[in-house]
Amino acid sequence: MVRRAIGHFVSDGHDVVSLWQVQSPGDAIPFAGDAIPFDRRANVGLHHLALAVVDQAGLDTLYTRVSSWPGVVVEFGPERSGAGPKIHFIVREPSGVRIEFAFDPRLEDARKTQ
C-alpha cells in the first residue's frame, strides 16, 4: 500500500512554511515506536514555532479557527506577553508541536508610518 503524505504550504509571498501530517505517530520516530513528549529542560529540539499576525482582528480570528480544530490543545488564549503590549496565544497541534501566534501593536504602528 502506498501512503500519500498530507501537506499544507503557507506563504506570505516571500517565505513558505510546509506542514506535514504524520499518518502514524509511531512511524514518525524510527526505532522508538512512540513519540517522546518535548521537555525544554531535558530535550534538544524545537521548543515552539512563533508566527507574527498583522493585526488584532487577525489574531482573534485565527484563535477562533485554530482553537476549534480537532486535536488542537490550547495552552492559553490571547493574552499580553509579560507587561505587553504584545498579545499572543499558544496551541499544541495534534502531533505535539507548540505554535505561538502573536500580534505586536508596535510593529503595526511602524508599518503605518512607512
Cβ contact 103:86 at 8 Å:
yes
Other C-beta atoms closer than 10 Å to the C-beta of 94 total 13
Cβ contact 40:47 at 8 Å:
yes
Residue 53 pLDDT > 60: yes
Percent of the chain residues past pLDDT 70, beyond the cut: 68
DSSP letter assigned to residue 97: -
Cβ contact 52:62 at 8 Å:
no
What is the Cα–Cα distance from 47 to 63, expressed in whole angstroms? 20
**What integer is the mean pLDDT of 54-61?**
93
Place of cell 479557527: 65
- Does residue 94 or residue 35 have the better pLDDT? 94
Q: Looking at the whole model, is its pTM more than 0.75?
A: no
